[in-house]
Amino acid sequence: MRDLIRLQKLFAPYRGWMFAGLGFASVTILANFGLMTLSGWFLAATGLVGLSSFAAQNQFNFFSPAAGVRFFATLRIASRYAERLVTHEATFRLLAALRVWFYTKLEPLAPAALQGYRASDLLSRIVADIDTLNLFYLRVYVPLLTAGITTLAMVLFFGIFSWPAALALGLGLSLTGLGLPLLTGALGRAQGAEITRLNAALRAEYVDAVQGMGELLTYGAAPALAARVEAYNSTLIGVQQGMSRLTGLGLAGAQFLTNATMLAVVIAGSAKVAAGRLYGADLPLLALGSMAAFEAVSPLPVAFQYLGQVSAAAKRIFALADARPAVAAPIAPAPRPEGYALKLENVCLRYAEGSPWALHNLNLSIPEGRHVGIVGATGAGKTTLINLLLRFNEYQEGTASFGGHDLRAYASEDMAAHITVISQRSYLFHTTIRDNLLLAKGDATEAELWHALEVAQLAAFVRAQPRGLDALVGEAGVNLSGGQGRRVALARAVLKSSPWLVLDEPTEGLDAATEREFLRDLAPLLKGKTVLYITHRPAGLVLMDEVYALHAGQAWHTAG
């Protein structure tokens, strides 16, 4: 329940839209109730007047009830249209707000705090769980509050004619709208949560299957994955069948209570008619009104079943949103760097309490404008050094300064403004070359884009493409060679033009000839910048002023 209350608080900026949709939904129910009650009374009264004297017929007002029937019919149509329009507008606004809010919660967690999650699980939470949360307003919030508002109004209206009939209606609506849904909700809550879990697991398996199809086929592991998917599917179908049975029982119970309530209302009204304390035409009013009143509570059994799925999705979303970033954001605004020197003294960093030190008593000084190479075996701490510099991971001991200020005074976005990274894993989005370049400088002109491509020695290739800058690079740059993909990263670095340049294994996976060409085009870009070149290949080290070897989390000067 706390998660649902918290979810509702997130929707606070859109209360106007939410209440407007609720209001139109209530008007629609009450308009239908008014139409049925007035129609029942009008038809019965007209029949009774037809059996009376000619004078009584002339005195009967046919026009006002007829106009009332038309009014309620028109109002019902108009309010239904407005309700659909407003509730769906509210739904889309809430969905957009939820996605933006969740992204703002995820961003500070990346990459360190998200490393324990499967990419497919994150995708499931971002897409499927957010969509499930969006059902809260349309399938839970509006039906529940509409039922409460309209039930009170209709019971009070019945009280004008017969309080026993009003009590019968209130009891029937309460059992149908509250008792029955609570029962089916309690029975279906675990199943609803299980459906959410199974859908998430299935999506994770499908994403893994698509991403790892080559390995699955190469090692003959596809049948095992297909068996897991089949097991999930079978379990999901079984749970969904159970939910369907609950839904059927709920609908049958609601229909029974509807008919039983109408019978009780008619009996209560008939007693007053027989006693001469109720006009005969009022009895059809009560009968048809009680039947129409159940439109208010008919969505509630399904709403309570959705409640289980929404609660499970909210728990998954808030569990991730509440995760603590690996690096705490600084309280004060980031200071302006006084130069761009980096100095590390006895720095120790590990990724979890009790785990081995990834960096241990690391001492490293990189003056502004210096080109420093770092070499080391796998696991020596090279990537950890980059994570430290970019403020992705926090160090636990020692001191670190950047630009003359404590490194902890900077957030990761502050460091990103001063540092450009080119790595073997520089990601290319499945969009155009232009859009991939604009990531580095969103307001770059056409001339600036072509200049960056010229510097990166990629302009001729792009001009040869039929669509030029608007050529698609494909998923993860599949339409480009490895060397061309690195040159796109070089062009980004030209556009960003930051004072620091970090090169993380930029030639990994390239053949010797392509590596030489890449390093030749990289050399002019290094001028005037502070450079940290991390590699285990010696070719690029000739561009460095000095070289350090990382071993067991410590740096040892080797050359320069």
Contact by Cβ (8 Å): 364, 532: no
CA dist., res. 265 & res. 119, Å (int): 58
- Does residue 56 register a pLDDT over 50? no
Provide the pLDDT confidence category of residue 52 given band limits of 50, 70 and 90.
low
Q: What is the pLDDT of residue 559?
A: 64
Provide the pLDDT confidence category of residue 267 given band limits of 50, 70 and 90.
very high
Percent of the chain topping pLDDT 70: 97
> What secondary structure letter does DSSP report for 176?
I
Comparing 507 with 1, which gets the higher pLDDT? 507
Burial string for 217-228 (b: 16+ CB within 10 Å, else e) reads eeeeeeeebeee
Sign of the alpha-carbon dihedral angle for 63, 68, 69, 75? positive
Q: What is the mean pLDDT of residues 95-119?
A: 83
pLDDT digits (tens, 9 = 90+) for 182-229: 887 777 777 777 887 888 788 778 877 877 777 777 778 888 888 888
Percent of the chain topping pLDDT 90: 34
**Residue ranges per domain, the chain?**
2-321, 342-559
For the record, the structure tokens of 261 come out as 């309530």
Domain 2-321 CATH class label: mainly alpha
Domain 342-559 CATH class label: alpha beta
Widest distance between CA atoms in the chain: 120
Q: What is the pLDDT of residue 155?
A: 95
What's the one-letter identity of residue 241?
Q
Comparing 284 with 57, which gets the higher pLDDT? 284
Query: Judging by beta carbons within 10 Å of its beta carbon (0-12, 13-18, 19+), is residue 133 exposed, middle or buried?
Result: buried
Q: What is the mean pLDDT of residues 423-451?
A: 89
In what helix (H) or strand (E) does residue 218 lie, and over which residues does it extend? helix 213-218
- Does residue 496 register a pLDDT over 70? yes
- Does residue 58 register a pLDDT over 80? no
β-pair partners for 503:
422, 533
